[in-house]
Amino acid sequence: MTAWPGSEWVFDLGNTRLKCAPLGADGRIGAVQALGHDANDFVVQLDAVLLARGRIAFIASVASSDLTAAVRDALLVRFRCVSFARTQARLGALRIAYANPAKFGVDRFLALLAAHARDATRPQLVVGVGTALTIDLLDAAGVHHGGRIAPSPTLMRDALHRAATQLPIEGGDYAEFADDTADALASGCEGAALALVERSLGEGQARLGQRPRLLLHGGGAETLARHFAGAEFAPSLVLEGLAAWARTVQA
Protein backbone atom coordinates (compact mmCIF):
# COMPACT_ATOMS: atom_id res chain seq x y z
CA MET A 1 0.00 0.00 0.00
CA THR A 2 1.28 3.47 -0.84
CA ALA A 3 1.66 5.70 2.21
CA TRP A 4 0.15 9.15 2.35
CA PRO A 5 2.12 12.09 3.84
CA GLY A 6 2.72 11.73 7.56
CA SER A 7 1.38 8.18 7.63
CA GLU A 8 4.58 6.55 8.89
CA TRP A 9 6.43 7.57 12.03
CA VAL A 10 9.42 6.37 14.02
CA PHE A 11 9.51 6.33 17.83
CA ASP A 12 12.54 5.98 20.10
CA LEU A 13 11.34 5.14 23.62
CA GLY A 14 14.14 5.63 26.13
CA ASN A 15 14.26 5.59 29.91
CA THR A 16 13.25 9.24 30.33
CA ARG A 17 11.60 10.40 27.11
CA LEU A 18 10.04 9.44 23.81
CA LYS A 19 11.54 10.91 20.65
CA CYS A 20 9.55 10.72 17.46
CA ALA A 21 9.57 11.93 13.87
CA PRO A 22 7.56 11.41 10.69
CA LEU A 23 9.11 9.57 7.77
CA GLY A 24 9.30 11.46 4.50
CA ALA A 25 8.64 10.05 1.04
CA ASP A 26 12.38 9.29 0.79
CA GLY A 27 12.23 7.20 3.97
CA ARG A 28 14.24 9.68 6.02
CA ILE A 29 13.18 11.33 9.26
CA GLY A 30 11.52 14.70 9.42
CA ALA A 31 11.40 17.13 12.35
CA VAL A 32 12.14 15.37 15.65
CA GLN A 33 10.11 16.02 18.78
CA ALA A 34 10.76 14.77 22.32
CA LEU A 35 8.17 14.10 25.01
CA GLY A 36 8.85 13.35 28.67
CA HIS A 37 6.89 10.16 29.29
CA ASP A 38 6.65 10.80 33.03
CA ALA A 39 4.22 13.67 32.40
CA ASN A 40 0.59 13.09 33.42
CA ASP A 41 -0.63 14.36 30.05
CA PHE A 42 1.79 12.24 28.02
CA VAL A 43 -0.92 10.80 25.74
CA VAL A 44 -2.41 14.27 25.21
CA GLN A 45 1.05 15.52 24.18
CA LEU A 46 1.43 12.58 21.82
CA ASP A 47 -1.93 13.39 20.19
CA ALA A 48 -0.85 17.00 19.73
CA VAL A 49 2.33 15.90 17.95
CA LEU A 50 0.67 13.37 15.64
CA LEU A 51 -2.41 15.46 14.78
CA ALA A 52 -3.80 12.74 12.47
CA ARG A 53 -3.95 8.96 12.36
CA GLY A 54 -1.28 7.09 10.45
CA ARG A 55 -0.51 3.80 8.79
CA ILE A 56 2.59 2.38 10.53
CA ALA A 57 4.46 3.28 13.70
CA PHE A 58 7.98 1.86 13.94
CA ILE A 59 9.23 1.77 17.51
CA ALA A 60 12.47 0.99 19.31
CA SER A 61 12.20 0.67 23.08
CA VAL A 62 14.68 0.19 25.91
CA ALA A 63 12.10 1.25 28.50
CA SER A 64 10.33 -1.04 30.97
CA SER A 65 7.86 -3.59 29.68
CA ASP A 66 4.95 -1.74 31.34
CA LEU A 67 5.85 1.58 29.74
CA THR A 68 6.50 -0.06 26.38
CA ALA A 69 3.08 -1.71 26.51
CA ALA A 70 1.40 1.60 27.42
CA VAL A 71 3.04 3.39 24.50
CA ARG A 72 2.20 0.50 22.17
CA ASP A 73 -1.46 0.68 23.21
CA ALA A 74 -1.53 4.45 22.69
CA LEU A 75 -0.01 4.08 19.22
CA LEU A 76 -2.38 1.26 18.22
CA VAL A 77 -5.26 3.72 18.61
CA ARG A 78 -3.53 6.09 16.20
CA PHE A 79 -1.89 3.72 13.69
CA ARG A 80 -3.06 0.69 11.75
CA CYS A 81 0.10 -1.18 12.67
CA VAL A 82 2.87 -0.89 15.28
CA SER A 83 6.15 -2.58 14.35
CA PHE A 84 8.92 -3.10 16.93
CA ALA A 85 12.55 -3.09 15.86
CA ARG A 86 14.69 -5.95 17.15
CA THR A 87 18.45 -6.36 17.19
CA GLN A 88 19.67 -8.64 14.43
CA ALA A 89 22.98 -10.46 14.22
CA ARG A 90 23.43 -9.06 10.74
CA LEU A 91 21.63 -6.49 8.64
CA GLY A 92 23.17 -5.47 5.33
CA ALA A 93 26.88 -4.90 5.97
CA LEU A 94 26.40 -4.51 9.73
CA ARG A 95 27.49 -7.48 11.87
CA ILE A 96 27.01 -7.44 15.64
CA ALA A 97 29.75 -8.79 17.92
CA TYR A 98 27.41 -10.28 20.52
CA ALA A 99 26.96 -14.06 20.30
CA ASN A 100 23.37 -13.54 21.45
CA PRO A 101 22.01 -10.46 19.60
CA ALA A 102 18.99 -10.32 21.92
CA LYS A 103 21.34 -9.12 24.68
CA PHE A 104 22.52 -6.17 22.58
CA GLY A 105 20.29 -3.14 23.12
CA VAL A 106 18.18 -2.20 20.11
CA ASP A 107 19.18 1.45 20.56
CA ARG A 108 22.87 0.54 20.19
CA PHE A 109 22.06 -1.67 17.20
CA LEU A 110 20.16 1.10 15.42
CA ALA A 111 22.83 3.69 16.23
CA LEU A 112 25.45 1.45 14.58
CA LEU A 113 23.17 0.92 11.59
CA ALA A 114 22.83 4.69 11.16
CA ALA A 115 26.55 5.31 11.72
CA HIS A 116 27.55 2.87 8.99
CA ALA A 117 24.98 4.40 6.64
CA ARG A 118 26.53 7.81 7.29
CA ASP A 119 30.13 6.72 6.66
CA ALA A 120 31.38 3.34 5.41
CA THR A 121 34.92 4.55 4.69
CA ARG A 122 36.54 4.52 8.16
CA PRO A 123 36.15 3.04 11.65
CA GLN A 124 33.81 4.77 14.07
CA LEU A 125 33.37 4.97 17.81
CA VAL A 126 29.65 5.39 18.47
CA VAL A 127 28.90 6.88 21.88
CA GLY A 128 25.42 7.21 23.35
CA VAL A 129 24.93 9.51 26.34
CA GLY A 130 21.60 9.04 28.05
CA THR A 131 20.87 7.32 31.34
CA ALA A 132 23.84 5.11 30.51
CA LEU A 133 27.01 5.85 28.59
CA THR A 134 27.36 3.30 25.78
CA ILE A 135 30.45 2.96 23.61
CA ASP A 136 30.69 0.75 20.52
CA LEU A 137 33.50 0.24 18.02
CA LEU A 138 32.57 -0.25 14.38
CA ASP A 139 35.05 -0.85 11.55
CA ALA A 140 34.73 0.49 8.02
CA ALA A 141 33.31 -2.81 6.76
CA GLY A 142 30.43 -2.66 9.23
CA VAL A 143 31.83 -5.20 11.70
CA HIS A 144 31.08 -4.40 15.33
CA HIS A 145 34.03 -5.07 17.65
CA GLY A 146 32.09 -4.82 20.91
CA GLY A 147 31.75 -2.01 23.41
CA ARG A 148 31.22 -0.77 26.95
CA ILE A 149 28.37 0.35 29.19
CA ALA A 150 28.90 2.77 32.09
CA PRO A 151 26.86 5.34 34.06
CA SER A 152 26.39 8.62 32.24
CA PRO A 153 27.54 11.87 33.92
CA THR A 154 23.90 12.63 34.78
CA LEU A 155 23.43 9.24 36.42
CA MET A 156 26.70 9.68 38.36
CA ARG A 157 25.47 13.01 39.72
CA ASP A 158 22.13 11.46 40.65
CA ALA A 159 23.80 8.53 42.45
CA LEU A 160 26.11 10.86 44.41
CA HIS A 161 23.19 13.08 45.41
CA ARG A 162 21.12 10.12 46.60
CA ALA A 163 24.03 8.84 48.69
CA ALA A 164 24.94 12.30 50.04
CA THR A 165 22.08 14.79 49.68
CA GLN A 166 24.32 17.75 50.47
CA LEU A 167 25.98 17.25 47.08
CA PRO A 168 24.02 19.18 44.44
CA ILE A 169 22.39 17.02 41.77
CA GLU A 170 23.12 19.53 39.01
CA GLY A 171 25.05 22.70 38.23
CA GLY A 172 28.70 23.55 38.06
CA ASP A 173 31.13 24.00 35.20
CA TYR A 174 33.85 21.70 33.92
CA ALA A 175 37.41 22.49 34.97
CA GLU A 176 40.54 20.38 35.09
CA PHE A 177 41.06 21.30 38.75
CA ALA A 178 37.90 22.82 40.20
CA ASP A 179 37.84 25.14 43.24
CA ASP A 180 34.12 24.77 43.98
CA THR A 181 32.07 21.67 44.91
CA ALA A 182 29.52 22.02 42.12
CA ASP A 183 32.31 22.54 39.59
CA ALA A 184 34.23 19.59 41.04
CA LEU A 185 31.18 17.34 40.69
CA ALA A 186 30.58 18.44 37.10
CA SER A 187 34.26 17.99 36.31
CA GLY A 188 34.55 14.59 37.95
CA CYS A 189 31.43 13.06 36.42
CA GLU A 190 32.03 14.57 32.99
CA GLY A 191 35.72 13.77 33.21
CA ALA A 192 35.06 10.09 33.98
CA ALA A 193 33.04 9.80 30.78
CA LEU A 194 35.63 11.74 28.78
CA ALA A 195 38.42 9.47 30.01
CA LEU A 196 36.50 6.33 29.05
CA VAL A 197 35.77 7.68 25.58
CA GLU A 198 39.39 8.76 25.10
CA ARG A 199 40.66 5.35 26.17
CA SER A 200 38.21 3.67 23.79
CA LEU A 201 39.43 5.87 20.92
CA GLY A 202 43.02 4.83 21.67
CA GLU A 203 42.17 1.15 21.96
CA GLY A 204 40.12 1.36 18.77
CA GLN A 205 43.08 2.85 16.93
CA ALA A 206 45.38 0.12 18.27
CA ARG A 207 42.97 -2.59 17.12
CA LEU A 208 42.03 -1.20 13.71
CA GLY A 209 45.16 0.75 12.79
CA GLN A 210 43.29 4.03 12.39
CA ARG A 211 41.84 6.45 14.93
CA PRO A 212 38.05 6.04 14.78
CA ARG A 213 35.76 8.88 13.89
CA LEU A 214 33.86 9.87 17.05
CA LEU A 215 30.08 10.02 16.71
CA LEU A 216 28.03 11.01 19.78
CA HIS A 217 24.29 10.88 20.27
CA GLY A 218 21.76 11.14 23.09
CA GLY A 219 20.61 13.82 25.48
CA GLY A 220 23.98 14.39 27.14
CA ALA A 221 26.16 13.98 24.06
CA GLU A 222 26.58 17.62 23.10
CA THR A 223 28.29 18.42 26.40
CA LEU A 224 30.90 15.72 25.81
CA ALA A 225 31.32 16.44 22.09
CA ARG A 226 32.77 19.90 22.73
CA HIS A 227 35.81 18.30 24.40
CA PHE A 228 36.84 16.31 21.30
CA ALA A 229 38.16 18.02 18.19
CA GLY A 230 36.43 16.63 15.12
CA ALA A 231 33.70 14.83 17.05
CA GLU A 232 30.29 14.73 15.39
CA PHE A 233 27.10 15.28 17.38
CA ALA A 234 24.17 13.30 15.96
CA PRO A 235 21.27 13.77 18.41
CA SER A 236 18.78 11.65 16.46
CA LEU A 237 21.07 8.76 15.48
CA VAL A 238 18.76 6.06 16.87
CA LEU A 239 15.80 7.45 14.93
CA GLU A 240 17.98 7.55 11.79
CA GLY A 241 18.81 3.89 12.33
CA LEU A 242 15.16 3.06 12.95
CA ALA A 243 14.24 4.74 9.67
CA ALA A 244 16.91 2.65 7.90
CA TRP A 245 15.57 -0.49 9.58
CA ALA A 246 12.02 0.42 8.48
CA ARG A 247 13.20 0.75 4.88
CA THR A 248 14.65 -2.77 4.98
CA VAL A 249 11.53 -4.41 6.40
CA GLN A 250 9.35 -2.71 3.79
CA ALA A 251 11.66 -3.43 0.83
Active site residues: 107
Same domain, 112 and 147: yes
Same domain, 12 and 77: yes
| End-of-domain residue from the set 84, 117, 152 | 84
Same domain, 110 and 226: yes
Indicate yes or no: pTM above 0.85.
Answer: yes
Does any domain span residue 91? no
Q: Give the CATH number, domain containing residue 44.
A: 3.30.420.40
Position 3 scores a pLDDT of 38
Position 129 scores a pLDDT of 96
Which residues lie across from 137 on neighbouring strands? 125
Q: Domain range holding 45?
A: 8-84
pLDDT digits (tens, 9 = 90+) for 104-133: 999 999 999 999 999 999 999 999 999 999
3-state secondary structure 32-74: CEEEECCCCCHHHHHHHHHCCCEEEEEEEECCCHHHHHHHHHH
State yes or no: pLDDT of 66 exceeds 90: no
State yes or no: pLDDT of 28 exceeds 70: yes
* pLDDT-derived band at 251, boundaries 50, 70, 90: low
Same domain, 203 and 141: yes
Give the sign of the dihedral formed by CA 180, CA 181, CA 186, CA 190: positive
Position 2 scores a pLDDT of 37
Same domain, 80 and 111: no
Same domain, 19 and 139: no
What average pLDDT does the chain have? 91
Does any domain span residue 89? no
Does any domain span residue 49? yes
State yes or no: pLDDT of 40 exceeds 90: no
Position 159 scores a pLDDT of 97
Does any domain span residue 186? yes
Does any domain span residue 96? no
Number of structural domains in the chain? 2
Does any domain span residue 171? yes
Does any domain span residue 41? yes
* pLDDT-derived band at 1, boundaries 50, 70, 90: very low
